[in-house]
Amino acid sequence: MAHFRKDFLWGGAVAANQVEGGYNEGGKGLSVTDITTAGSLESPRYLTYTLDGKDGKVAGMFASSLPKGAKGKIFDNEYYPNHVAIDFYHHYKEDIKMFADMGFKVFRTSIAWTRIFPTGEEDKPNQEGLDFYRRVFEELKKNGIEPLVTISHYEDPLALGEKYNDWQDRKMIDLYVKYATTLFKEYKDLVKYWLTFNEINSSLMFLKLVGDGKVSDADYQKAYQKLHHQFVASAKAVVAGHKINPDFMIGNMIAGSVYYPGTPDPKDALAARYEEELSQLYCADAQAKGEYPSFAKRLWDEHNVHLKIEDGDLEVMKEGKVDMYTFSYYMSNMVTTHDVGEKAKGNFAAGAKNPYLEYSEWGWSTDPDGLQLYLEKMYDRYGIPMMVVENGLGAVDKLEDGTVHDDYRIDYLRKHIKAMDKAVEHGVDLLAYTTWGCIDCVSAGTGQMSKRYGFIYVDRDDKGEGTLKRLPKDSYYWYQKVIASNGDEL
């Protein structure tokens, strides 16, 4: 018998920019993702812009920033996969029906800030945008599915990115709080579960993984200052949300990973711990404990970071602690001070390759024990309910006779569900599991469609060709049984 609670929320997750399309419909403004090209494992995605009358592009993903003074621009000769994505904007009813047939209890999606405030600075929200999400949430409720909403998932308004230099300006705090408060008021009777920022720790975690891997002190200064503004914004939103509806459960969202020492050398144990402090605990403490950790000063000093903290910031962080700890989990990492042969690759994969683990085509390890370890460790540290809000295997699927025999995906998910079950048996209060990309969508890291995660196949390729037809894969029927049996039948 599995140990999940009776009202366990089984479901799936996506993000607005990776599924919706309709990038210029319904009064929507441009988001950073709308000027982001497609890439692959070998070649990065680019943000395209114009600066001093000249066109240019800079490698970036996960809402990276443009060079100072640049204006985002859509080029005629580039392909932007998020413009149409899988056209959830027009297919949401059909998709929700398929989720409901699978037995979903919860569906995680995000709101595109630019559908609500096209440039981020309007006084009044865009009614068409508000109406769209109201229709989506009502459709979910009608189908017995609880919405779980990420307020900001890697898609700031482009206009804010250009003007305020990727959260370097404190003005972003008020603009974000205005946006979040608008959502809380508008959907207070439809949405109970909210997440403030997707993978907030990515600003630190991906620093070394993007571009040439060289990170200057100025880059660290920027990342820490951005995070400080986001911590304050998140905390203010939590406080405001609880006033609007005291039943709201508002969570953080961390890109979760564990860090193993690569050898028994104590120096490796220390290096692994330090990596965990930087990549996980710094942000997790700020939002779940409401304060900077004891090791923050060491982290700042290492890179001559001087954080601008204003009066009241630390108090509001304390007041606006999150109600639940939510995270994505795909893989673990290995850290060593020794020379290693092969390195792990991919946007999440840092350090050395772990000989005990298998790696996907995109270089991501499969490590369900790491998930159990993470759940048990973090529950012990923070003691608040948890949700696994992303987990899954990105793989190339082969369409055969109108379906996909994705036993590799079933195998991956089965192992991770078993690992969650163990953690629950050991006392972790786990509320939900939403697998990533429950319907195939555009990859955030590479912009590909061919890196598929879904239970539902979408007929669309890396160049934007295809009918957009939806087809259930083998994993669709498997997950249906898992949900119906509350995790007993794996």
HEC readout, 323-346: CEEEEEECCCEEECCCCCCCECCC
For 159-163, the CB contacts below 8 A with 24+ separation are 159/29, 159/30, 159/118, 159/119, 159/120, 159/121, 160/119, 160/120, 160/121, 161/32, 161/63, 161/65, 161/66, 161/72, 162/66, 162/70, 162/71, 162/72
Selected from 199, 275, 277, 421, the binder of ligand BG6 by CB under 6 A is 199
Q: Check binding of 451 to ligand BG6 (CB under 6 A).
A: yes
Q: Which is nearer to ligand BG6, 87 or 169 (CB)?
A: 87
Distance of CA 426 to the CA centre of its chain: 27
Closest CA to 167 of 243, 113, 90, 130: 113
State which of residues 125, 445, 454, 487 lies at the interface with ligand BG6 (CB under 6 A): 445
Stretch that binds ligand BG6, among 19-27, 65-73, 181-189, 443-451 (CB under 6 A): 443-451
Task: Please identify which residue in 107, 220, 379, 436 interacts with ligand BG6, judged by CB under 6 A.
Answer: 436
φ and ψ of 149, to 5 deg: -115, 125
DSSP letter at 10? E
User: Would you say 70 or 283 has its CB closer to ligand BG6?
Assistant: 283
Name the residue nearer to ligand BG6 (CB basis): 85 or 305.
Answer: 85
Q: Is 452 in the site for ligand BG6 (CB under 6 A)?
A: no
Does 196 contact ligand BG6 by CB under 6 A? no
Nearer to ligand BG6, 445 or 487 (CB): 445
Q: Decide: is 34 part of the binding site for ligand BG6 (CB under 6 A).
A: no
Place of tokens 């078993």: 418
Which of the ranges 205-213, 276-284, 293-301, 444-452 carries the binding residues for ligand BG6, by CB under 6 A? 444-452
Binding to ligand BG6 by residue 15, rule CB under 6 A?
yes
Nearest residue (CB) to ligand BG6, 13 versus 271 = 13
Taking CB under 6 A as the criterion, the residue among 39, 394, 454, 487 binding ligand BG6 is 394
Q: Which DSSP symbol is given to 452?
A: B
Q: Under the criterion CB under 6 A, does residue 114 sit at the interface with ligand BG6?
A: no
Task: Pick the binder of ligand BG6 from 48, 114, 280, 347 (CB under 6 A).
Answer: 347
Task: Name the DSSP letter for residue 261.
Answer: E
390 near ligand BG6, judged by CB under 6 A: yes
Instruction: Give me 437's structure tokens.
Output: 């990309």
User: What is the rounded distance in angstroms from the CA atom of residue 178 to the CA atom of residue 224?
Assistant: 23
Q: Are 48 and 447 a contacting pair, CB within 8 Å?
A: no
Closer residue to ligand BG6 in complex, CB, 4/327:
327
Task: Kindly name the residue from 155, 275, 276, 390 that is annotated as catalytic.
Answer: 390
The tokens for 423 are 């953690």
C-alpha triplet 253, 238, 170: angle, nearest 5°: 85
**Residue span binding ligand BG6 (CB under 6 A) among the ranges 274-282, 287-295, 402-410, 445-453:** 445-453
- Pick left, alpha or beta for residue 364 (phi over 0 → left; psi -120 to 50 → alpha; otherwise beta): beta
Footprint of ligand BG6 on 326-345 (CB under 6 A)? 328
> Which three-class secondary structure state does DSSP give residue 123?
coil
Tokens of 168: 């370097």
What's the min distance (Å) between Cβ of 236 and ligand BG6?
A: 23
Task: Determine if 443 is a binding residue for ligand BG6 (CB under 6 A).
Answer: yes
Rg (CA), the chain: 21
Rounded to a whole number of angstroms, the minimum distance from the CB of residue 464 to ligand BG6 is: 17
Please tell me whether residue 432 adopts helix, strand or coil conformation. Answer: strand
Query: Does residue 174 sit in helix, strand or coil?
Result: helix
| Segment interacting with ligand BG6, rule: CB under 6 A, options 214-222, 380-388, 439-447, 467-475 | 439-447
Query: Which residue, 316 or 449, has its beta carbon nearer to ligand BG6?
Result: 449
Terminal Cα distance for the chain, rounded: 11
Per-position x/- string for 232-271, each x denoting binding to ligand BG6 as judged by CB under 6 A, each - no binding: -----------------------x----------------
Of 330, 455, 475, nearest in space to 407 by CA: 475
How many binding residues for ligand BG6 (CB under 6 A)? 15
Cβ proximity to ligand BG6, 37 vs 328, nearer residue: 328
Distance CA 375, CA 386 (A): 8
Say how many C-beta atoms besides its own lie within 10 A of residue 358's C-beta. 10
Angstrom distance (rounded) from CA 284 to CA 377:
12
Of 164, 170, 165, 236, the closest CA to residue 197 belongs to: 236
Residue 421 binds ligand BG6 (CB under 6 A): no
For the question of residue 199 being annotated catalytic, the response is: yes
**Position closest to ligand BG6 via CB:** 445
CA distance 416 to 420: 6
* Residue tagged active-site, from 20, 146, 155, 199: 199
Residues that bind ligand BG6 in the complex, under the rule CB under 6 A: 15, 18, 198-199, 255, 328, 347, 390, 394, 436, 443-446, 451
Catalytic positions: 199, 390
